């Protein structure tokens, strides 16, 4: 009787143990991809949220098509809240504890620059779908294998497009710059000044503002006095919105250009619909750029109805698909072999942003360049591609950098 009771207890327990072990084994066999980016902490968190959805949807599509190397792909997501210490902690956990084979992120360039040494030392490929600082992919460019790649809009490349437009837009050859006092803004002024010199011109005024300032009328008055009819601003969306409001106060509306951060909703919410339409900014794609973008945007909006930053979703989606192509080509998830496969390229890959033929080389880990960018602006509360006579006249020779 006792023996029968013991076996009746042990059999289901054993079956449960085997089932759990089976699930654990299947879980261990998943190819795990990490995502580490700000999704809640700073003014660019919207870019991180959009990128996360692009990351998730790419993984869904890969699994629907049979996974990679006969295995399911699983995403492991971390929010670094825009803080370098948290971002470093996330990277360590993703690589050491979660055993991811690659990482996508971050949103903030400063966070990337804080932890690049970790994946580089551990031979884990990283593809950056948002952060734009020029130095991110160059830090380890001289090593035998550089593990840092990017599918995003490099600052210098954005400047090349903005100034190609500005030089053609100005009627009196008087172009001015205004930037926030952060490293981001001042590096932007450096790039702007150097690239404008390639066009044989100098700015007629260069002004600064604090990232938390709400009244820039005095700086704008000086720019107006310089005679500038074209202005490039370098700051984040919330401060740029205050700049637009200051323009309204003194009724000074030059042709106004900026970087892709202006597609974040703080610009729309603070400046309002009408004022937000004053600024033209660089982007790699928009929701209406092509049929692939339209389709992906519809899917993302099911999860993120207020999405203003579709470009980050598109770049993250393409980043995951390029990594998947490299894993298939390498036939393994070994980081060194996957990084080499990313450099080698492979069969053409039709992405959302563009057709990728050989986006990376040993010498360059930048998958997008100024030739892939176009201009956009807010229209009726949404970001739309911007085309006019000037955009149509820009030729490759105009894109100086």
The CATH topology of domain 156-283+374-398 is Rossmann fold (3.40.50)
275 sits in the region (left: phi over 0; alpha: psi -120 to 50; else beta) called: alpha
Alpha-carbon distance of 108 to 48, in angstroms, equals: 9
Q: For the whole model, what pTM was predicted?
A: 0.82
Hey, what's the torsion of the CAs at 30, 322, 64, 33, to 10 degrees? 30
Q: E strands along 312-364, which residues?
A: 349-350, 355-356
Owner of token pair 């450096």: 190
Closest CA to 36 of 164, 144, 124, 139: 124
Domain at 26-153+289-368: CATH architecture: 3-Layer(aba) Sandwich (3.40)
Rounded to 5°, the CA angle 328-134-119 comes to: 45
Alpha-carbon distance of 1 to 17, in angstroms, equals: 24
Closest CA to 36 of 89, 74, 72, 73: 89
Beta bridge partners of 234: 179
CB atoms within 10 A of CB 49: 23
pLDDT at 135 (0 to 100): 86
Same fold, 26-153+289-368 and 156-283+374-398: yes
Where exactly are the structural domains of the chain? 26-153+289-368, 156-283+374-398
One pLDDT digit (tens) per residue for the chain, 401 residues? 434 433 443 444 444 444 444 444 444 489 999 999 999 988 788 899 999 999 999 999 999 999 999 999 999 999 999 999 999 999 999 999 999 999 999 998 889 999 999 999 999 999 999 998 888 999 999 999 999 999 998 889 999 999 999 999 999 999 999 999 987 888 899 999 999 999 999 999 999 999 899 999 999 999 999 999 999 999 888 899 999 999 999 999 999 999 988 988 889 999 999 999 999 999 888 788 899 999 999 999 998 888 878 999 999 999 999 999 999 999 999 999 999 999 998 889 999 999 999 999 999 999 999 989 999 999 988 888 899 999 999 999 999 99
Strand pairing class (175-180; 230-234): parallel
């Amino acid at each position: 009787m006792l023996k029968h009771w013991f076996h009746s207890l042990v059999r289901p327990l054993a079956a449960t143990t085997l089932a759990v072990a089976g699930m654990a084994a299947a879980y261990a066999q998943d190819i795990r991809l990490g995502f580490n980016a700000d999704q809640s902490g700073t003014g660019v968190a919207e870019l991180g949220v959009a990128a996360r959805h692009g990351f998730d949807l790419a993984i869904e599509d890969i699994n629907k098509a049979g996974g990679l190397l006969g295995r399911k792909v699983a995403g492991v997501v971390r929010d670094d809240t825009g803080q370098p210490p948290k971002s470093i902690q996330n990277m360590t956990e993703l690589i050491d504890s979660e055993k991811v084979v690659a990482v996508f992120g971050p949103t903030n360039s400063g966070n990337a620059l804080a932890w690049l040494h970790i994946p580089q030392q551990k031979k884990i490929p990283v593809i950056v779908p948002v952060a734009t600082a020029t130095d991110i992919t160059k830090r380890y460019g001289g090593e035998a294998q550089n593990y840092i790649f990017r599918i995003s809009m490099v600052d210098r490349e954005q400047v090349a497009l903005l100034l190609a437009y500005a030089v053609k837009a100005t009627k009196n050859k008087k172009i001015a710059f205004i930037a926030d006092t952060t490293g981001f803004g001042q590096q932007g002024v450096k790039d702007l000044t150097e690239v404008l010199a390639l066009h044989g011109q100098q700015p007629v005024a260069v002004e600064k503002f604090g990232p938390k300032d709400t009244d820039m009328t005095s700086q704008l008055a000086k720019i107006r006095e310089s005679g500038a009819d074209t202005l490039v601003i370098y700051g984040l969306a919330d401060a740029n919105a205050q700049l637009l409001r200051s323009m309204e106060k003194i009724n000074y509306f030059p042709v106004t250009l900026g970087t892709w951060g202006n597609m974040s909703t703080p610009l729309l919410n603070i400046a309002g619909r009408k004022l937000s339409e004053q600024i033209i900014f660089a982007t790699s794609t928009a929701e209406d750029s092509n049929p692939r973008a339209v389709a992906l945007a519809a899917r993302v909006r099911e999860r993120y109805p207020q999405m203003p930053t579709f470009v980050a979703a598109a770049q993250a989606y393409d980043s995951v698909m390029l990594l998947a192509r490299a894993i298939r080509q390498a036939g393994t998830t070994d980081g060194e072999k996957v990084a080499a496969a990313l450099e080698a390229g492979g069969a053409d890959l039709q992405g959302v942003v563009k057709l990728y033929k050989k986006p990376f080389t040993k010498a360059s880990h930048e998958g997008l360049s100024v030739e892939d960018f176009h201009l956009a602006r807010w229209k009726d509360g949404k970001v739309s591609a911007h085309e006019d006579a000037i955009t149509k006249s820009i030729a490759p020779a105009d894109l100086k950098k």
